[in-house]
Amino acid sequence: MKSKTWVLLARLLRNIMRSPDTIITVAITPIMMMLLFVYVFGGAIETGTDNYVNYLLPGILLMAIASGVAYTSVRLFTDVKSGLMARFLTMPIKRSSVLWAHVLASMVSNALTVVVVILVALLMGFRSSADILEWLAVAGILALFMMALTWLAVIPGLTARSMEGATAYSYPLIFLPFISSAFVPTETMPKMVRAFAENQPVTSIVNAIRALLYGGSVGNGIWIALSWCIGIMIIVFFIATKRFKSL
């Protein structure tokens, strides 16, 4: 199973590298958002931090991941509609290998995007007081978030009837950080908006990452963030694998 998964994964990674528009869109869009908010809006936003990029980065990383997983849906949709998926399923390959190859390809490509965004943030003045264990904790939270959204992306990739339908789900995900603590403190929001912002997954994940990066008090926040990531992942994994078995 492992050798077949790696062969299928290599195919997908080659396709990703041959599609510069995909790489540019996933990497450039969050970087442009970060530049816009730091250098255009940053001076007008009060967050209680000396460097707005430090406050902003966790939310930008989540936006980058949400944007990147949309291409998982595109790749799956393309394989299904072209008949390639049906061809794979008739070959002596374990069915799960086909699906896991797409998931792992998404993880690799999105991890590269996260690294690129962090490097650009460093050039913009991002600095962290986190030690190696705290950085590992940040990486773990991002990986779980990435995995959860990737399995979510599998569902429209397998069920959509058009390319637009396969990617439409990603727009609310990209927009969700705007109604969270990612860009401004939730205390500045109107009461109804604040109630939603403080009880949606992005806020807890952003707050946990921010506390780890800058020596804040993590408290129970990290467990809430992990619960959101793991809970979403379990639910969408069950739905995605059930739908895949019906092909």
Q: What is the pLDDT of residues 113-159, one digit of tens each?
A: 999 999 999 999 999 989 999 999 999 999 999 999 999 999 999 99
Percent of the chain with pLDDT over 70: 98
pLDDT at 86: 85
Token pair 């339908």 is found at: 165
In contact, 65 and 229? CB cutoff 8 Å: no
Q: How many CB atoms lie within 10 A of CB 44?
A: 6
Q: What is the pLDDT of residues 60-114, one digit of tens each?
A: 999 999 988 988 898 899 989 988 888 888 888 888 888 899 999 999 989 989 9
- Give the start-to-end residue ranges of the domains of the chain: 2-245
State the Cα angle at 60 between 218 and 106, rounded to 5°. 100
pLDDT at 167: 84
Q: What does the DSSP assignment read for 10-62?
A: HHHHHHHHT-HHHHHHHHHHHHHHHHHIIIIIGGG---S-S-HHHHHHHHHHH
Q: What amino acid is encoded at 99 in this protein?
A: L
Q: What is the pLDDT of residues 27-37, one digit of tens each?
A: 888 899 999 99
Q: Helix-strand-coil percent breakdown of the chain, rounded to 5?
A: 80, 0, 20
Which of these, 227, 233, 206, 75, lies nearest to 152 by C-alpha position?
233
Q: How confident is the model at residue 5 (pLDDT cuts 50, 70, 90)?
A: confident
Q: What is the pLDDT of residues 38-63, one digit of tens each?
A: 988 877 777 777 789 999 999 999 99
Cα(73)–Cα(103) distance, integer angstroms:
10
Res. 1: pLDDT tops 70: no
Cα(84)–Cα(98) distance, integer angstroms:
11
In contact, 126 and 118? CB cutoff 8 Å: yes
Q: How confident is the model at residue 241 (pLDDT cuts 50, 70, 90)?
A: very high
pLDDT at 2: 57
Q: What is the pLDDT of residues 226-237, one digit of tens each?
A: 999 999 999 999
